[in-house]
Amino acid sequence: MSRHTAPISEVFSSLAGEGPQVGRRQLFLRTAGCHLDCSYCDTFTDPAEPCRFERLPGSGRLVEVANPLDLEAVFAMLTELEGVYPGHVHLAVTGGEPLLHAEFLLELLPRVKDELGLAVHLEYSGTLPEELRRVIDLCDVVACDIKPASLCGRDVTGVTRRSLELCVAVGVELVPKVIFGRESDFAEVEAGVRMVAGIAPDAPVILQPVHGPGGLPDLSGPELLETLIRASRLHPDVRLIPQVHKLLAVR
């Protein structure tokens, strides 16, 4: 009998759309709610809304389930998708901010690993290092945002630094993602790249552009290339990777 519930925004099967895992099949668990208010946020995460379960991948046909959900309900959805469409590489846990529900994840993730045989890919805002510490041993990949104050609305450098340091100390596969867009400037990209170079020099630096309402990055191709060229002078392994799921118009 599970003890915890969590507001879940979406459960679906798709492909990894961000970072070096791009293109791999993933199950997605999107929790609802976030403690931040990024200007570019495109993620529907109202905890009061029902969970949307996409039974047929890519169909857009959604079954709505009342929130909050308990572990058994969530696990049943994940089991159904992996059973009908086997071969996912990871469960991608994203949000919102999934670490607001660390207690729930501490119950769910061992079952995902043991019973479904899936690795866990955590997509994380980079701002809750104490909660990350609680679940990190259950994670195989931690994608950690490095958010500029111009987009995030506050300076989160200290907590992001602690999150990166924790990932390095534990030895989990780390994907640091420097978020940038039209509202940010290159000095913030530079600070992010230098932070990764100083704390996790073996990790690639992912430059992830903000996408506009039409699904394309809000900077032009030449502007993106200029950012990549300048950032590559600061670190030997910088990769500019847009959000591929948006380019494909899938979840």
Applying CB under 6 A, the residues found at the interface with ligand SF4 are 34, 36-38, 41, 43, 45, 95-97, 125
CB of 116 to ligand SF4, least distance (A): 25
CB of 29 to ligand SF4, least distance (A): 14
CB of 112 to ligand SF4, least distance (A): 21
Which of 9/13 has CB closer to ligand SF4?
A: 9
Interior/surface letters 183-207, b for 16+ CB within 10 angstroms, e for the rest:
ebeeebbbebbebbbebbeebbbbb
Which H/E stretch holds residue 167? Answer: helix 157-170
3-class DSSP state of 16: coil
CB of 202 to ligand SF4, least distance (A): 26
Amino acid letter for position 159: V
Give DSSP secondary structure letters for 51-115: EEEESSTTS--EEEEPSSEEHHHHHHHHHHHHHHS----EEEEESS-GGGGHHHHHHHHHHHHHH
First and final C-alpha spacing in the chain: 31
What's the rounded Cα separation, in Å, for the pair 227 and 208? 11
CB of 149 to ligand SF4, least distance (A): 13
Which of 19/96 has CB closer to ligand SF4?
A: 96
CB of 12 to ligand SF4, least distance (A): 17
3-class DSSP state of 18: coil
31 closest CA partner among 137, 114, 105, 106:
105
3-class DSSP state of 216: coil
DSSP structure class, residue 15: E
Which of 38/75 has CB closer to ligand SF4?
A: 38
Which of 12/75 has CB closer to ligand SF4?
A: 12
Which of 75/206 has CB closer to ligand SF4?
A: 206
Which of 42/237 has CB closer to ligand SF4?
A: 42
